[in-house]
Amino acid sequence: MSAPGSGNGSRHTAARNDFSGTSHGPVVQAATIHGGITYHVQQAPPPGARVTPDEIPPLTVRFVNRTEDLATLDGWLAPGTGDGDDGASVGFAALHGPPGVGKTALVSRWAERGRDRFPDGQIYVDFATLRGEAPGADVSEAARRCLRSLGVDEAYIPATFAERTRLLRSRSADRRLLVFLDNVSTPGQAAALIPKGKGSCLVVAGGGGLGELALDGARLMPVKPLDRDSAREVLADRCGAARIAADPEAADRLVELCAGLPVALHVVAARLATRPRLTPAALAAELAAEPRRLAGMSLGKERSVAAAFDLAYRELAPEPARLYRLMGWYPGATFDAGVAAVASGLDPRPAAEALEALTRAGLLEETADGRFRFHDLVRLHAAERATEEEVPAERPALVRRVTLHYLALTALADRAVRLDRLRIADLADWLSEVRDPFAAPGAPRPVDWLEAEHRNILGVLRAAAREETLHTQVWQLAEAFTVLFLHHRHLGDWRESLELGAAAAAEALVPAAEARLRSLLSRPLMDLGEYEAARRQLDTAQACAEVSGDLVVRASVQEFSGRYWDRTDPVRAMAAYRGALELNTAAHEGRGAAIAAYFLGCAQDAAGDSRDALDTLRGAHDELIAREDRRMAARAQVAIGIAHDRLGETDEAVRALSEAAEVLRARKATHYEAQALVALADIQERSQGDPQEVRARLERALEIYEAGGSPRAQELLRRLAEGEATG
């Protein structure tokens, strides 16, 4: 196994798209002067006719929603026009968002509504038409177009960019204009074209890299995808309300697949409108398959969702373009700069620069926590580009690189939470070569990092499970990943990760790992109420443990079997726990023996032997405290509190449960915190305690169970509803 981040992806030299300062256009030449010296001279253009441009594209479909965005633009772009007004004399706004999100339509609608504000005209420059096949737009050519729109004859337009912008300021000084620069990819292209006349406005639309325009006074507005209701309204407007109303479920699925992008909704609606036999349900079924989705959102090569993304993609330098393609194959939902570097085989700095370029282009969105994500349809476009332009072997290589990356980080997080937990994977030598990020000052808590990343880790597990060469890494990652679910009960995700891991361990022929993962799998299955499935997993785990010959693994399976029998047969459960205790003791596994004793004490209490249970539980608690395992010790304290309650020792019960709940909450062991809170609420309710305090404990427990997908949430909902009805 190679170290994480040592992928063999080739590196590419970065290419910049910086505007060079070179300008193009007609030059006014002076005559040959005495001495043979020829030089340029700029002649002032004649006044010419005063024109009123009206260039912003009209809306050809009904505009839907965006009322808040329109109101915001109204508030921003109403600068003072009278003498003595302390406000800005010129409005300046920059709208940013992914391709096809509706920025142009939003500005067109705003311009249409505010036509009276700009009596001297509205100018439109589409930078996409200036770029052609060359990277970057010619801002000098944009200035030329603005001058032509204001009536300056071609022969009198200056040669240099600086002179063109000076003339633009002069020509706009006594006019109230709206200038709209669309599809801008570099902020420097915009600020120089601000008109000078009081009451004028410059509106810029582009990707996500317009932030520096704030330094020039621009107000920044993110344009988000449409919400579900607005998207459905667009669909109904374009292909007929009756057709959408006839199959609302299929219509909702189409809206979901278009992910709020107007360009996608328009194409989908056009397909329905032009093919009467194509039903919304049939189209939704066609688009449900990711590899065919973008192709299905097309009316031809130039009228497609992909064409909108191609425009931004063609502008990228080689390194950001390659990162864009490869991250289209990345199996997670979000990623940080480190993951991007690993996935692409780039060093961190060029990877960060490439991410910045993709964000500027509007192809990536940076999240509040510093990660990045694709819009769903942009991700499909990136993956299509990867399939077309990368060699086939690059995809499994990428999956391997990110799997090793997450295996290292997840294993380090697991060990940072609890070093002496039973693990089958022996990664000590490999991890010794990896810098531990959780040991650094200011590092995130390991469980917090796992919680933030858990969707990505699960996505990586799924992708790696499809690769025949990664069975070992899959089961090792699933084993380490379990530490999250011991604290945060995401039951469906825990189940899936363990199922993938157990299957991989079976393929890798590691019976100890398969036994461990299948016995762990019994826990989420039982929490989900799938007891027969849990029993089958435990039976298989028992057989694998016997084959492995590992005493500690056999003890672990016995412990999980005891937890299964806890439900229906305390005597059988106690026998299983005693077997686990004996095996752990024989293997000199002190922590395992203490945990087995804890479960044995719980079973004794359930069987009605609460006094003996207290002795067993106190011994387990003291041993766990000695080993500084405060989380498991707190669980033992919960059991002690419940045993005291069974014995009628209410004060001791409340004290033990309250202390345990605080420890479990501090250690983010929320599932067990909920168990303590419900037990406390039960005691307080029976003893006529404060009803508000009882309700607060139950509401906190409900919040925990709902977040984890536990069936107990329904039980608490009913209980709270009944309490409200009788209160």
pLDDT (tens digit per residue) in 39-85: 223 344 444 556 889 888 877 667 777 888 888 888 888 654 444 45
Asked if residue 582 lies in contact with residue 556, where contact means CB atoms within 8 angstroms, the answer is no
pLDDT-derived band at 510, boundaries 50, 70, 90: very high
Integer Cα distance of 417 and 668 in angstroms: 11
Query: According to CATH, where is 1.10.10.10 located in the chain?
Result: 308-390
| Mean local confidence (pLDDT), 309-325 | 84
pLDDT over threshold 60, residue 343: yes
| CB 677 within 8 Å of CB 700 | yes
Residue 19 banded pLDDT, cuts 50, 70, 90: very low
List beta partners, residue 205: 95
Evaluate if residue 529 carries a pLDDT over 70: yes
SS3 per-residue string spanning 157-200: CCCCHHHHHHHHHHHHCCCCCEEEEEEECCHHHCHHHCCCCCCC
In whole angstroms, give the CA distance from residue 121 to residue 234.
30
What percent of the chain lies above the pLDDT cut of 70? 84
Looking at the whole model, is its pTM more than 0.85? Answer: no
Burial of 154 (0-12, 13-18, 19+ CB in 10 A): exposed
Q: Looking at residue 155, what is its pLDDT?
A: 67
CA distance 107 to 73: 9
Q: From CA 518, how far away is CA 482, in angstroms rounded? A: 12
Q: For 136-175, write each residue's pLDDT tens digit.
A: 447 777 888 899 898 887 667 787 778 888 889 988 998 9
How many CA atoms are closer than 13 Å to the CA of 60, on its beta-carbon side? 2
User: How many helical (H) and strand (E) elements, i.e. helices and strands, does the chain have?
Assistant: 32, 7
Which one is predicted more confidently, 311 or 438? 438
The Cα 411–Cα 438 span in angstroms is 11
pLDDT for the residue 433: 85
Could you tell me how far CA 4 lies from the centroid of its own chain?
22
- H/E stretch holding 95: strand 91-96
Residue 293 pLDDT class (50, 70, 90 cuts)? low
CATH of 67-222, one of 3.90.850.10, 3.40.50.300, 3.30.70.1230, 1.10.3720.10: 3.40.50.300
Which part of the chain has CATH 3.40.50.300? 67-222
pLDDT, tens digit, for every residue of 94-146? 898 877 788 888 899 898 888 889 999 999 988 876 654 344 447 777 888 89
**Sheet holding 178-184: strands in order across?**
122-126, 178-184, 201-206, 91-96, 219-222
What integer pLDDT is reported at residue 177 of this predicted model? 93
Nearest to residue 131, comparing CAs of 311, 324, 360? Answer: 311
**Confidence class of residue 373 from pLDDT cuts 50, 70 and 90?**
confident
CA 644/CA 622 separation, integer angstroms: 17
Q: Which span out of 263-267, 374-378, 641-645, 703-707 was modeled with the highest average pLDDT?
A: 641-645
Record the tokens describing residue 611, joined without a space. Answer: 């006094």
Kind and range of the H or E run holding 201:
strand 201-206
pLDDT value, residue 515: 97
CATH class of 308-390: mainly alpha
Does residue 301 surpass a pLDDT of 80? no
Buried b (16+ CB within 10 A) or exposed e, 586-618: ebebebbbbbbbbbbbbbbbbeebbeebbebbb
- Over residues 243-268, the mean pLDDT reads 79
CA–CA separation, 579 and 585 (whole Å): 10
Residue 551 above 90 pLDDT? yes
Backbone angles phi and psi of 132, in degrees to 5: 55, -135
Q: Which residue has better confidence, 439 or 576?
A: 576
